[in-house]
């Protein structure tokens, strides 16, 4: 299970596609925070417990973002369309069944 929050979900789609083209897989599993201190260390730039010789240097410019860029365009179109739909007036609710007839003797 992983996050579906924007834009992380789109980044994961790009990563999955890139890995698939190289016949690789990445399996993500959630772990409780207290069992995942390594992730906190990385987030907080604490690298003392990691082997520097195994570090892979990469920049954002080196990353293939072709799918990500397309997905971001689709997301933008989706948000525009959703916004337009929300601005439109909602239709009146339909009544269920036949319309009731007046039951008074004066009708």
In a domain, 16, yes or no: yes
| Structural domain total, the chain | 1
Domain-embedded: residue 37: no
49 lies in some domain: no
Is 99 part of any domain? no
- At residue 3, the 3 state secondary structure works out as coil
pLDDT at residue 1 greater than cutoff 60: no
Residue 20 lies in a domain: yes
From first CA to last CA, the distance across the chain in angstroms is: 64
Give me the domain span that covers residue 13.
Answer: 1-32
* pLDDT band per the 50, 70, 90 thresholds, residue 4: low
- 2 contacts 26 by C-beta, under 8 angstroms: no
Higher per-residue confidence, 96 vs 65:
65
Q: How many CB atoms within 10 Å of residue 12? A: 16
Q: pLDDT digits over 21-56, tens only? A: 999 998 888 889 899 999 999 999 999 999 999 999
Residue 19 lies in a domain: yes
Which pLDDT score is estimated for 100?
A: 65
Whether residue 85 lies inside any domain: the answer is no
pLDDT of residue 3: 62
* Residue 2: predicted pLDDT: 59
- Which of 35-39, 42-46, 63-67, 98-102 shows the lowest per-residue confidence on average (mean pLDDT)? 98-102
- Asked whether residue 85 carries a pLDDT value surpassing 70, the answer given is yes
């Amino acid at each position: 299970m992983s996050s579906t929050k924007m834009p992380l979900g789109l980044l994961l789609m790009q990563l999955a596609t890139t890995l698939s083209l190289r016949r690789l897989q990445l399996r993500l599993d959630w772990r409780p925070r207290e069992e995942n201190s390594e992730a906190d260390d990385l987030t907080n730039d604490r690298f003392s417990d990691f082997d520097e010789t195994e570090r892979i240097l990469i920049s954002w410019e080196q990353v293939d973002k072709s799918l990500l860029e397309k997905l971001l365009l689709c997301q933008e179109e989706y948000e525009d369309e959703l916004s337009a739909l929300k601005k439109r007036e909602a239709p009146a609710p339909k009544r269920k069944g036949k319309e009731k007839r007046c039951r008074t003797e004066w009708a």
